[in-house]
Amino acid sequence: MMVSSHTAMRTLLVVATALLLLSLIGQAETQPEFNLMPMPASLQAGSGELALNQSFTVAVTGHGGARVEHAAQRVMARITAQTGIPVSNTLADSSKATLVLSAEKAGESVQKLGEDESYKLEVTPTGARITAPADLGVLRGVETFLQLIQPSPSGFVVPAVTINDQPRFPWRGLMIDVSRHFAPVDVIKRNLDAMAAVKMNVFHWHLSDNQAFRVESKKFPKLQEMGSGGQYYTQDQIRDVITYAHDRGIRVIPEFDMPGHATAWFAGYSELASGSGPYAMEQKFGIFDPAMNPAREETYKWLDKFIGEMTALFPDQYFHIGGDEVNGKEWDANSKIQEFKRAHNLQTNEDLQAYFTKRVQEIVKKHKKTMVGWDEVLHPDIPTDVVIQSWRGPKGLAQAARGGYRAILSNGYYIDLMFPASQHYLNEPLSGDAAGLTPEQQKLILGGEATMWSELVTPDTIDSRIWPRTAAIAERLWSPQSVNNVDSMYRRLAVVGHELEYTGVTHNSYYERALERIAGPNNVHSLMVLADVLEPPKEYHRGQMDKLTTDLAYNRLVDVLHPESDSAREFAMLVNRILAGNGSPQDKSRARAMLIMWRDNDQRLQPVLQNGNFLMRELVPVSQNAAAVASAGLEALNYLDAGVTPLPTWTQQQLAVTTEARKPHASTLIMIAEPVQKLVQATQGGPPAPGKW
């Protein structure tokens, strides 16, 4: 019996590369000189480079305090991880150290919005120095230094450079929803490390929603006992995460969503609700009727105690109360609430919610915190010290600023919607309506937040939904507005995405393991050829295809796919150049080689899929369609090359193939279908395909 090992099979699957491709692919293109993300505000290349070897040491001078020393420890550990060089793990004397970290002062013990994060990094062939007015700047600078490390002909080096850097926006956040799917502390921590690596400074912790309440409350223990399914953070764990984040220059802002999105609270405390219950943790996703009762004074007494407990637990100045998506049905159905509205002259449910929001805002203020809420809290009755998080559309941000509110942008940064990095990258906060704001109003735009809503993610896959795309958002919020070249972003993202794994996130390494779970060790690589051209559905389309609940197994191919297919993006770019008449012979050969690979992969994969397990079988039509599309693309290239116009029946048939292939199967999208459709249409001199699926 032949031993067909995993490795041998993979090797065979990689076969014939050179045979087929050598003539097609030249040298790897020249790397951009500095694979930094986010790009610094100012960078001047020097001459020469600093050698990085076993004698590398770090020293700390100035008055930056413990946080700088911890950063120095992390630099030493990360260099060893990134390069394999066993550098010293003890601090050196500043007169002898390779890298000197120097901050003039320590930052606030509770990090404040707008603290100075600027730094200067100077690298010469003899040493490197990061200086900053405050310790936060050193934390940002060391991440730049780590990104500059690269192997050279002589060894690992850091190129000589002078960087003066500071952020464009003071609020650069990542929200993680831990309600719909829980994220254990280790998942949170590794994502904090990755955030720090791209200079993000706000972790917005969406801790409660209809599906679960995730924090231990000592005053109201039924919140976690009846609202978390046993999956919640103890207060010790919360404090541990806050300390961990602060050490990395990241503020932790808790969100307790109210008055809607709160069903899980009502499992233990139904008296808070507007309906009669009973209530239980919601297992489905969407907008639900339950909402807090804004007409009972007891609600505010309860919230005063609760917010008192939580503002003591979370030291940040800002406290997020959610406020989104109340459908008002429970309010309409409750006669006492209707009575309350009349008594208080509240015309609409929006007015009623504004009443609630104002009351909560007063409680939050009483506990010496500043309230943050989603778009919906914006109302003429709400004081302007509330911060608005804009999510519903591009206009909300400018509207808030015009009203005198400070605002942060999340519309366009919804990474759960599976859009490509470029789309988020080009989502400029000060564009559209916001471009017309006065300079004073523009100052009210604090920044933005990527939002990782967790309906579809598990601890296995969450990193791959956040990274590397969030690094592009981090650059948008840190770097000058003029830094906006998409090609450059993708080139740097490939390198920085690799480096991010050294912070502990697993967005690259999970992929092969997850595919192997589906395909077994012998077929993982032919499944990968298919998976590499697929993407999950966009926006909320997945929910229209599959019955989704919190207790579903998110282990199908669609759950493993990268949100963005690098292969399909490259292929689409080749097709665009070819159809625009400026495709090189290499472009054409490369496009052809890709199509051949995709077409022929089905011959190997198809029998395995048909005889495979349940996770494989649903992929039968996906592989067939991908092969059919690739075949159509090859034929179209032949016609275009030959300058021959095919018969209309051929074109009709191929358009039928690509149209069919653009429909989702097994909840996946074949991302090469659209560019192939363009090729087919071009054989008739026709227009490009309208819209996206």
Q: Which long-range contacts (CB under 8 A, 24 or more apart) does 236-241 make?
A: 237/185, 238/313, 238/314, 239/313, 240/185, 241/185, 241/188, 241/189, 241/192
- The single residue among 114, 221, 480, 607 that binds a second copy, judged by CB under 8 A, is 607
Q: Does 83 bind a second copy (CB under 8 A)?
A: yes
Q: Does 379 bind a second copy (CB under 8 A)?
A: no
Q: Which of 39, 78, 26 is nearest to 499 (CA)?
A: 78
Q: Does 579 bind a second copy (CB under 8 A)?
A: no
- The single residue among 45, 48, 66, 89 that binds a second copy, judged by CB under 8 A, is 89
Q: Which long-range contacts (CB under 8 A, 24 or more apart) does 147-153 make?
A: 147/35, 147/36, 147/37, 147/197, 147/496, 147/499, 148/34, 148/36, 148/123, 149/52, 149/79, 149/82, 149/83, 150/35, 151/83, 152/49
Query: For the packed helices 469-478 and 486-500, what is the interaxial angle rounded to 10 degrees?
Result: 120
Three-state SS for 104?
strand
Find the shortest distance in angstroms from Cβ 572 to a second copy. 10
- The single residue among 313, 573, 579, 655 that binds a second copy, judged by CB under 8 A, is 573
Q: Does 114 bind a second copy (CB under 8 A)?
A: no
User: Which of 80-88, 119-127, 133-141, 161-169 is the region at the interface with a second copy (rule: CB under 8 A)?
Assistant: 80-88
Q: 390 near 411, Cβ under 8 Å?
A: yes
Q: Does 230 bind a second copy (CB under 8 A)?
A: yes
> For every residue of 108-123, which 3-state class applies, written as one string?
CCCCCCCCCCCEEEEE
Q: Does 612 bind a second copy (CB under 8 A)?
A: yes
User: Which of 130-138, 195-203, 254-262, 491-499 is the region at the interface with a second copy (rule: CB under 8 A)?
Assistant: 491-499
Find the shortest distance in angstroms from Cβ 119 to a second copy. 27
Q: Does 343 bind a second copy (CB under 8 A)?
A: no
Q: Give residues 505-524 in contact with a second copy (rule: CB under 8 A).
A: 508-509, 512-513, 516-518, 520-523
Cβ-based nearer residue to a second copy, 6 or 365: 6
Q: Does 147 bind a second copy (CB under 8 A)?
A: no
Cβ-based nearer residue to a second copy, 133 or 468: 468
Q: Does 582 bind a second copy (CB under 8 A)?
A: no
User: What amino acid occupies position 429?
Assistant: P
d(CA 665, CA 149): 43
User: Which of 101-109, 483-491, 641-649, 677-685 is the region at the interface with a second copy (rule: CB under 8 A)?
Assistant: 483-491
- The single residue among 90, 95, 345, 347 that binds a second copy, judged by CB under 8 A, is 90
Cβ-based nearer residue to a second copy, 436 or 607: 607
On the CB side of 278, how many CA atoms lie within 13 Å of its CA?
Answer: 6
Q: Does 276 bind a second copy (CB under 8 A)?
A: no
- The single residue among 135, 449, 532, 535 that binds a second copy, judged by CB under 8 A, is 532
d(CA 411, CA 427): 9
What are the phi and psi torsion angles at 140 (to 5°)?
A: -70, -40
Measured at the CA of 456, the angle between CA 451 and CA 458, to 5 degrees, comes to: 95
Which residues 6+ apart lie within 8 Å of 298 measured at CB? 271
Cβ-based nearer residue to a second copy, 299 or 506: 506
Q: Does 580 bind a second copy (CB under 8 A)?
A: no
User: Which of 328-336, 366-374, 446-454, 600-608 is the region at the interface with a second copy (rule: CB under 8 A)?
Assistant: 600-608
> For every residue of 317-337, which 3-state class applies, written as one string?
CEEEEECCCCCCHHHHCCHHH
Q: Does 590 bind a second copy (CB under 8 A)?
A: yes
Size of the site for a second copy (CB under 8 A): 107
Active site residues: 325
d(CA 353, CA 373): 12
Find the shortest distance in angstroms from Cβ 551 to a second copy. 5
Q: Does 185 bind a second copy (CB under 8 A)?
A: no
d(CA 183, CA 228): 12
- Count the Cβ atoms, other than its own, within 10 Å of residue 580: 8
Q: Give residues 613-632 in contact with a second copy (rule: CB under 8 A).
A: 613-617
Which alpha helices (H) appear in 375-521, and where do they start and end?
Answer: 395-402, 421-425, 439-442, 462-466, 469-478, 486-500, 509-519
d(CA 194, CA 410): 19
Find the shortest distance in angstroms from Cβ 414 to a second copy. 23
d(CA 346, CA 408): 29
Contact characters 535-554, a second copy, x per CB under 8 A:
---------------xxxxx
- The single residue among 47, 95, 154, 345 that binds a second copy, judged by CB under 8 A, is 154
User: Which of 140-148, 232-240, 609-617, 674-682 is the region at the interface with a second copy (rule: CB under 8 A)?
Assistant: 609-617
Q: Does 608 bind a second copy (CB under 8 A)?
A: yes
State how far the alpha carbon of 185 is from the alpha carbons of 151, 231, 249, 412, in Å.
34, 11, 18, 27
Find the shortest distance in angstroms from Cβ 170 to a second copy. 32
Find the shortest distance in angstroms from Cβ 654 to a second copy. 21
User: Which of 121-129, 258-266, 368-376, 561-569 is the region at the interface with a second copy (rule: CB under 8 A)?
Assistant: 561-569
Q: Does 91 bind a second copy (CB under 8 A)?
A: no
- Bridge partner list, 152: 155
Q: Does 16 bind a second copy (CB under 8 A)?
A: yes
